[in-house]
Amino acid sequence: WLIGAAVAYLLMPFDLIPDFIPVLGQLDDLIIVPGLIWLGLRCIPMSLKQEIRRIVEQDQQAHFSE
C-alpha cells in the first residue's frame, strides 16, 4: 500500500508544498516519493527478497550461458 501511496501522492492535484514555490515545491516530491518507496521495500520479508534474488540469479545464469 505504500507504493500505492507514493504513486497517489505524485498524481494528486495538490502537494504539501505547491510546485509553484521555487525549489521547495519540487523538493517535497523528491524526498517524499523515494522515502515511501524505500519504506515499502523494507516491508517485504527478507525471506521473499532472498528467494527472488535466487530466482533472478538462476535466470541470468541460464540466459547468459547460452
Ordered DSSP codes for the chain: -HHHHHHHHHHSSS-SS-TTSTTHHHHHHHHHHHHHHHHHHHTS-HHHHHHHHHHHHHHHHHHHT-
| pTM score of the predicted model | 0.55
Phi, psi (rounded to 5 degrees) for 45: -60, 140
Select from 16, 35, 34, 14 the least CA-distant residue to 24: 16
Report the pLDDT value the prediction gives residue 58, as an integer from 0 to 100.
95
Based on the structure, what is the number of domains in the chain? 1
Looking at residue 64, its pLDDT comes to: 84
Range of the structural domain that residue 28 is part of: 2-64
What whole-number distance in Å separates Cα of residue 60 and Cα of residue 19?
A: 42
Q: What is the pLDDT of residues 20-58, one digit of tens each?
A: 888 888 888 788 878 888 888 898 999 999 999 999 999
